[in-house]
Amino acid sequence: MASQQPQASQQRLALGKALEELATRLSEHLKGVATKVEADKRSMVINIEVDRSRILEAAKILSSLGFDHVKSLTGVDYPDKGVIELMVHIGSYSRGLRRIMAILRSKLDRKDPRAPTLTQIWPSSEFQEREAWEMFGIVFEGHPDLRRLLLPEEFEGLWPGRKDFEIPTRKAGEAEEPWK
Protein backbone atom coordinates (compact mmCIF):
# COMPACT_ATOMS: atom_id res chain seq x y z
CA MET A 1 0.00 0.00 0.00
CA ALA A 2 2.83 2.37 0.74
CA SER A 3 4.11 2.13 -2.81
CA GLN A 4 0.70 3.11 -4.17
CA GLN A 5 0.54 6.31 -2.24
CA PRO A 6 3.15 8.29 -4.14
CA GLN A 7 1.51 6.93 -7.27
CA ALA A 8 -1.86 8.16 -6.09
CA SER A 9 -0.59 11.59 -5.20
CA GLN A 10 1.23 11.79 -8.52
CA GLN A 11 -2.00 10.94 -10.26
CA ARG A 12 -3.74 13.60 -8.28
CA LEU A 13 -1.16 16.21 -9.23
CA ALA A 14 -1.54 15.32 -12.89
CA LEU A 15 -5.29 15.53 -12.61
CA GLY A 16 -5.07 18.89 -10.91
CA LYS A 17 -2.89 20.25 -13.67
CA ALA A 18 -5.24 18.93 -16.35
CA LEU A 19 -8.13 20.55 -14.56
CA GLU A 20 -6.43 23.91 -14.49
CA GLU A 21 -5.68 23.63 -18.19
CA LEU A 22 -9.29 22.81 -18.89
CA ALA A 23 -10.35 25.80 -16.85
CA THR A 24 -8.15 28.14 -18.86
CA ARG A 25 -9.49 26.66 -22.09
CA LEU A 26 -13.06 27.12 -20.89
CA SER A 27 -12.42 30.70 -19.88
CA GLU A 28 -11.24 31.37 -23.40
CA HIS A 29 -14.46 29.99 -24.84
CA LEU A 30 -16.46 31.95 -22.32
CA LYS A 31 -14.56 35.17 -22.85
CA GLY A 32 -16.80 38.12 -22.24
CA VAL A 33 -19.60 35.97 -20.99
CA ALA A 34 -18.33 34.64 -17.69
CA THR A 35 -17.04 36.94 -15.02
CA LYS A 36 -14.95 34.26 -13.32
CA VAL A 37 -13.77 30.79 -14.23
CA GLU A 38 -11.74 28.89 -11.69
CA ALA A 39 -10.89 25.30 -10.97
CA ASP A 40 -11.48 23.63 -7.63
CA LYS A 41 -8.99 20.78 -7.51
CA ARG A 42 -10.34 19.17 -4.37
CA SER A 43 -13.80 18.58 -5.77
CA MET A 44 -12.75 18.29 -9.41
CA VAL A 45 -15.15 21.05 -10.49
CA ILE A 46 -14.81 24.21 -12.50
CA ASN A 47 -16.72 27.15 -11.06
CA ILE A 48 -18.11 29.50 -13.67
CA GLU A 49 -19.59 32.74 -12.49
CA VAL A 50 -21.86 34.62 -14.90
CA ASP A 51 -24.06 37.62 -14.73
CA ARG A 52 -27.80 37.07 -14.81
CA SER A 53 -28.16 38.40 -18.33
CA ARG A 54 -25.57 36.01 -19.70
CA ILE A 55 -26.84 32.77 -18.27
CA LEU A 56 -28.40 31.52 -21.50
CA GLU A 57 -25.36 32.44 -23.55
CA ALA A 58 -23.00 30.66 -21.23
CA ALA A 59 -25.30 27.66 -21.16
CA LYS A 60 -25.36 27.48 -24.94
CA ILE A 61 -21.58 27.64 -25.12
CA LEU A 62 -21.15 24.97 -22.49
CA SER A 63 -23.71 22.77 -24.16
CA SER A 64 -21.88 23.02 -27.46
CA LEU A 65 -18.62 22.10 -25.75
CA GLY A 66 -20.04 18.78 -24.62
CA PHE A 67 -21.75 19.34 -21.28
CA ASP A 68 -24.98 17.59 -21.94
CA HIS A 69 -27.02 17.34 -18.77
CA VAL A 70 -27.81 19.11 -15.55
CA LYS A 71 -27.10 17.20 -12.38
CA SER A 72 -28.50 19.67 -9.92
CA LEU A 73 -30.11 23.08 -10.08
CA THR A 74 -30.75 24.98 -6.93
CA GLY A 75 -30.32 28.25 -5.11
CA VAL A 76 -28.25 29.30 -2.14
CA ASP A 77 -29.75 32.06 -0.09
CA TYR A 78 -27.49 34.86 1.19
CA PRO A 79 -29.85 37.23 2.95
CA ASP A 80 -27.09 39.46 4.31
CA LYS A 81 -25.77 40.05 0.79
CA GLY A 82 -29.27 40.38 -0.64
CA VAL A 83 -28.74 37.75 -3.33
CA ILE A 84 -29.88 34.26 -4.09
CA GLU A 85 -27.15 32.45 -5.91
CA LEU A 86 -28.39 30.14 -8.65
CA MET A 87 -26.10 27.12 -8.66
CA VAL A 88 -26.26 24.67 -11.55
CA HIS A 89 -24.11 21.54 -11.57
CA ILE A 90 -23.56 20.53 -15.16
CA GLY A 91 -22.02 17.27 -16.22
CA SER A 92 -21.17 15.39 -19.33
CA TYR A 93 -21.52 11.82 -20.46
CA SER A 94 -18.88 12.19 -23.14
CA ARG A 95 -15.64 10.44 -22.53
CA GLY A 96 -13.33 13.36 -22.13
CA LEU A 97 -15.43 15.49 -19.84
CA ARG A 98 -17.11 12.94 -17.63
CA ARG A 99 -14.41 13.24 -14.99
CA ILE A 100 -15.29 16.79 -14.05
CA MET A 101 -18.30 18.91 -13.38
CA ALA A 102 -18.93 22.53 -14.14
CA ILE A 103 -20.84 24.67 -11.68
CA LEU A 104 -22.60 27.60 -13.29
CA ARG A 105 -23.29 30.28 -10.71
CA SER A 106 -25.23 33.46 -10.99
CA LYS A 107 -26.32 35.97 -8.39
CA LEU A 108 -29.98 36.88 -8.55
CA ASP A 109 -31.64 39.77 -6.76
CA ARG A 110 -33.28 38.46 -3.64
CA LYS A 111 -36.34 40.65 -3.85
CA ASP A 112 -37.30 39.46 -7.31
CA PRO A 113 -35.25 36.48 -8.38
CA ARG A 114 -35.76 35.78 -12.06
CA ALA A 115 -33.71 33.67 -14.36
CA PRO A 116 -34.15 32.33 -17.87
CA THR A 117 -35.14 28.72 -18.11
CA LEU A 118 -32.52 26.21 -19.15
CA THR A 119 -35.01 23.62 -20.37
CA GLN A 120 -34.51 24.53 -24.01
CA ILE A 121 -30.81 23.76 -23.77
CA TRP A 122 -30.83 21.00 -21.18
CA PRO A 123 -34.22 19.22 -20.87
CA SER A 124 -32.93 17.47 -17.77
CA SER A 125 -33.42 20.66 -15.80
CA GLU A 126 -37.19 20.69 -16.04
CA PHE A 127 -38.05 19.12 -12.69
CA GLN A 128 -35.05 20.68 -10.97
CA GLU A 129 -36.26 24.16 -11.90
CA ARG A 130 -39.66 23.39 -10.46
CA GLU A 131 -38.05 22.51 -7.16
CA ALA A 132 -35.85 25.60 -7.19
CA TRP A 133 -38.93 27.72 -7.82
CA GLU A 134 -40.95 26.26 -4.99
CA MET A 135 -38.09 26.40 -2.50
CA PHE A 136 -36.61 29.82 -3.25
CA GLY A 137 -39.11 31.66 -5.37
CA ILE A 138 -36.82 31.87 -8.40
CA VAL A 139 -39.11 32.43 -11.38
CA PHE A 140 -37.79 30.72 -14.47
CA GLU A 141 -39.00 32.66 -17.46
CA GLY A 142 -40.18 30.42 -20.24
CA HIS A 143 -40.53 27.24 -18.21
CA PRO A 144 -43.28 25.09 -19.76
CA ASP A 145 -44.84 23.89 -16.54
CA LEU A 146 -43.77 25.84 -13.45
CA ARG A 147 -45.72 24.41 -10.55
CA ARG A 148 -45.07 22.79 -7.23
CA LEU A 149 -43.17 19.54 -7.22
CA LEU A 150 -42.52 18.40 -3.70
CA LEU A 151 -44.43 20.68 -1.37
CA PRO A 152 -48.09 20.38 -0.48
CA GLU A 153 -50.64 23.08 -1.27
CA GLU A 154 -50.34 24.90 2.05
CA PHE A 155 -47.01 26.35 1.01
CA GLU A 156 -48.53 28.79 -1.46
CA GLY A 157 -46.43 31.94 -1.35
CA LEU A 158 -43.94 30.63 1.17
CA TRP A 159 -40.39 29.88 0.09
CA PRO A 160 -39.11 27.30 2.56
CA GLY A 161 -35.61 27.16 1.14
CA ARG A 162 -34.85 30.72 2.14
CA LYS A 163 -33.10 31.50 5.36
CA ASP A 164 -35.89 33.67 6.68
CA PHE A 165 -38.46 30.89 6.57
CA GLU A 166 -39.45 30.21 10.14
CA ILE A 167 -39.84 26.50 10.63
CA PRO A 168 -43.12 26.40 12.50
CA THR A 169 -42.81 24.93 15.95
CA ARG A 170 -45.90 24.08 17.84
CA LYS A 171 -46.41 25.57 21.28
CA ALA A 172 -48.39 23.59 23.81
CA GLY A 173 -52.08 23.74 23.19
CA GLU A 174 -51.81 25.23 19.72
CA ALA A 175 -53.45 23.94 16.57
CA GLU A 176 -51.63 21.67 14.19
CA GLU A 177 -50.71 24.11 11.42
CA PRO A 178 -49.67 27.44 12.93
CA TRP A 179 -48.63 28.94 9.65
CA LYS A 180 -52.18 29.03 8.36
Annotate 72-97 with b (16+ C-beta within 10 A) or e (fewer).
ebbbebeeeeebbbbbbbbbbeeeeb
- For residues 115 and 74, the answer to whether their CB atoms sit within 8 Å is no
Least distance (Å) between residue 165 CB and another protein: 8
Give the angle subtended at the CA of 73 by the CAs of 93 and 149, to the nearest 5°.
115
- Stretches 24-32, 53-61, 69-77, 170-178: which one binds another protein (CB under 8 A)? 69-77
d(CA 174, CA 170) in angstroms, rounded, equals: 6
Chain positions 32 to 61 lying near another protein, rule: CB under 8 A, are 40, 42-45
To another protein, the closest distance from the beta carbon of 76 in angstroms equals 5
Q: Is 101 in the site for another protein (CB under 8 A)?
A: yes
- Of 4 and 157, CB closest to another protein: 4
Q: Note whether 140 and 117 are within 8 A (CB).
A: yes
Cβ 72 to another protein, closest distance in Å?
4
CB of 54 to another protein, least distance (A): 22
User: Which residues share a beta bridge with 80?
Assistant: none
Q: In whole angstroms, what is the distance from residue 73 CA to residue 124 CA? A: 10
Question: Total residues contacting another protein (rule CB under 8 A)?
Answer: 39
Contacts with another protein by CB under 8 A lie at 1, 4, 40, 42-45, 68-72, 74, 76-77, 87, 89, 93, 98-101, 103, 122-128, 144, 148-152, 160-161, 167
